[in-house]
Amino acid sequence: MSAVHEPPADAAAPAAAAPPGTRRRCTGEVLLEAKNISLAFGGVRALSDVGFDVREHEVRAIIGPNGAGKSSLLNCINGVYQPQQGTIALRGRTYRGMNSRQVAEMGVARTFQNLALFKGMSVLDNIMSGRNLKMRTSLLRQAMRNPWFSVAEREESVHREVVEHIIDFLEIQAHRKTPVGRLPYGLQKRVDLGRALAMEPQVLLLDEPMAGMNVEEKQDMSRFILDVNDEYGTTIVLIEHDMGVVMDLCDRVVVLDYGRRIADGTPAEVQHDAAVIRAYLGTTA
């Protein structure tokens, strides 16, 4: 996060095959809903009365200038921050005071704006770390049924199988034993996505998954996000500055500015919204 209001990247930047603003998928009922969220840090109001919902199987974007409150909103959803006001519900069930592990156990996984990987550990072990959540619960369950250690070993091999599948899916087989810190930035972001996928989430919160990437890396990441959505059926909430990516990937977009929601609609609707143009996109959009 920086205090500078960066202009969004060129809306014409290529990301995926569908014509801009035309991508539509079959979305379902509301899966995740944030209502009247307010969050302050001392005198800084990060979020003021913000609400938005996410439908099942949707790719939903959150956009806005630097410091608008986008990451703070994801942090409220996944239990990193506790908002002073408002409610968040998953499948109609309101949760409050839960930490990020408890929210993850309900099926909400997260990647961070600044990579949170173990740089000295291999790709395989980093993605495996995303299985911890599943591992402990399933091991405990197994241990209650069967005290023999071989069960734990069998569990481990099942988890490895899931992780290997993710490595194949993300096309990073060649790097599976490489320490993450030695990989180019674009691949590190892909490993971070793999770590989140290892939790087998229903909802995936991605905080600027394409920041700092070149055009080719963005195209790859866009394709993986769409494949996750299509093949795993995962609902996705995405913070992104590149309007080309937002137009190509997302069903609906919520726009924040100074901690307030200033627009919500399809990519085409928000792109032509006067308040959004004034606050974020500028006249060239």
- The residue from 69, 79, 201, 244 that contacts ligand ATP (CB under 6 A) is 69
- Look up tokens 């990989």; give the residue: 183
User: Does 71 interact with ligand ATP (rule: CB under 6 A)?
Assistant: yes
CB 54 to ligand ATP: min, Å: 18
Q: Which residue from 67, 79, 130, 267 is in contact with ligand ATP, where contact means CB under 6 A?
A: 67
Which own/partner pairs from 120-125 qualify as long-range (CB within 8 Å, at least 24 positions apart)?
120/179, 120/180, 120/181, 121/179, 121/180, 122/176, 122/177, 122/178, 122/179, 122/180, 123/167, 123/172, 123/175, 123/176, 123/177, 123/178, 123/180, 123/183, 123/191, 123/194, 124/163, 124/167, 124/176, 124/177
* Pair of tokens at residue 203: 């909802």
For position 1 contacting ligand ATP by CB under 6 A, the verdict is yes
Token pair for residue 56?
């099942």
Q: 26, 41, 97, 114: which one contacts ligand ATP (CB under 6 A)?
A: 41
For residue 133, the Cα-to-chain-centroid distance in whole angstroms is: 18
- Residue 113 within binding range of ligand ATP, rule CB under 6 A: yes
* Smaller CB separation from ligand ATP, 60 or 131: 60
Q: Which is nearer to Mg ion, 23 or 70 (CB)?
A: 70
Residue 194 as a binder of ligand ATP (CB under 6 A): the answer is: no
Candidates 64, 83, 107, 244; binder of ligand ATP (CB under 6 A) is: 64
Which stretches of the chain bind ligand ATP, using CB under 6 A? 1-2, 41, 44, 46, 64, 66-72, 113
